[in-house]
Copies of this chain bind each other. A is one copy, B any other.
Amino acid sequence: MLFHVKMVVKLPHDLPPETAQRLIADEKAFAQKLQREGVWRHLWRIAGQYANYSVFDVESAAQLNDLLFQLPLFRFMEIEVDALCRHPSSIHDDDR
């Protein structure tokens, strides 16, 4: 099942730079692993903002929840989640 997720990253300005860099590197590695596994199906940067729109393909809401809580930057993110389903006008087989 598909979920649309918006993530906005807000790093505290007093976070030590090396902590920030490590978290960002970990986040990237984790995001790429999930993309290779097919669960993080789409990932776009919103132009000019430290934010992304993503689409996840997961077994359940519980799996989505587990993945998002594991994100290294999770506690510095504002996250919005919307469940998706096939649009009656869609002709794309993978938009479901």
| Residues in chain A within 8 A of chain B (CB atoms) | 1-5, 11-15, 27-28, 31-32, 35-36, 41-50, 52-53, 55, 60-62, 64-65, 68-69, 75-76, 79, 81-92, 95-96
18 contacts between A and B (CB under 8 A): A2-B44, A12-B14, A14-B14, A31-B89, A32-B89, A32-B91, A35-B90, A42-B42, A44-B85, A45-B84, A47-B81, A47-B85, A49-B79, A49-B81, A50-B69, A61-B83, A81-B83, A83-B83
> In the bound complex, what is the Cα–Cα distance between A3 and B62 (angstroms)?
12
Q: Shortest beta-carbon distance, A61 to chain B, in Å? A: 4
B89–A61 touching, CB < 8 Å: no
